[in-house]
């Protein structure tokens, strides 16, 4: 089975040239699009209107997201029949492990000269956490597909929201690059949630495995 890989920082692009560390290498992604600063785009086309940075706009979006989740928790708003607390409480430690894996990746993993194995391992950790979260919530909270969809949104905002925040604040990336990475990473999260969740739901309904 082909391993799903999303390795942040594996190949750096500068002025449409590719580098691993300080070593210039051939760009393997023929036909890919790039930002004006040379960052490779995996999904989005070149969109000039997003080729900018704005601290007030970014911080406003970040604050609105945080306050939005705070409001969901305080007012106990139900999303697909479950409150935010019912999503988070059974898997809080898995969320913390995922956050720690992302932080470790940027603090230590990118600095290791091990052919990016450390980066892959950190990614596998949060991927496993997502799959286990789907399993636990289906088992303990009777989750369905709507709940899995929101779980995917929650993990996307936590993991890839943290990633794009780090990239904006410390790597000075534009909104186009941030949007591309967030969409790409979120699709990976949704794939894990729905593939794993669908399998668990199927086994539960068939009675093959008692979840």
**pLDDT tens across 62-81, in order?**
999 999 999 999 999 999 99
Q: Would you call 7 exposed, middle or buried from its count of C-beta atoms within 10 A (0-12, 13-18, 19+)? A: middle
pTM of the predicted model, to two decimals?
Answer: 0.83
**pLDDT tens across 132-153, in order?**
999 999 988 788 899 999 999 9
**Residue 18's beta-bridge partner residues?**
13, 25
**For residue 9, is pLDDT > 50?**
no
pLDDT of residue 7: 40
């Amino acid at each position: 089975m082909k391993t799903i890989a999303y390795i942040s920082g594996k190949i750096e692009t500068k002025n449409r040239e590719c580098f691993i560390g300080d070593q210039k290498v051939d760009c393997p992604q023929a036909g890919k699009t790039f930002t004006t600063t040379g960052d490779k785009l995996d999904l989005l086309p070149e969109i000039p209107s997003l080729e900018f940075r704005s601290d007030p706009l970014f911080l406003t979006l970040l604050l609105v997201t945080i306050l939005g989740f705070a409001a969901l928790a305080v007012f106990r708003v139900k999303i697909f029949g479950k409150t935010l607390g019912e999503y988070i409480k059974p898997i809080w430690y898995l969320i913390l492990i995922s956050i720690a894996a992302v932080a470790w990746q940027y603090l230590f993993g990118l600095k290791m000269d091990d052919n990016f194995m450390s980066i892959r391992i950190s990614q596998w950790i949060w991927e496993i956490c997502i799959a286990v979260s789907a399993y636990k919530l289906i088992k303990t909270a009777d989750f369905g597909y709507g709940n899995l969809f929101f779980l995917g949104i929650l993990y996307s905002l936590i993991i890839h929201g943290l990633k794009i925040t780090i990239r904006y604040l410390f790597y000075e990336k534009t909104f186009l690059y941030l949007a591309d990475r967030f969409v790409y990473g979120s699709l990976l999260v949704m794939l894990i949630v729905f593939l794993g969740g669908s399998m668990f739901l199927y086994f539960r309904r068939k009675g093959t495995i008692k979840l």
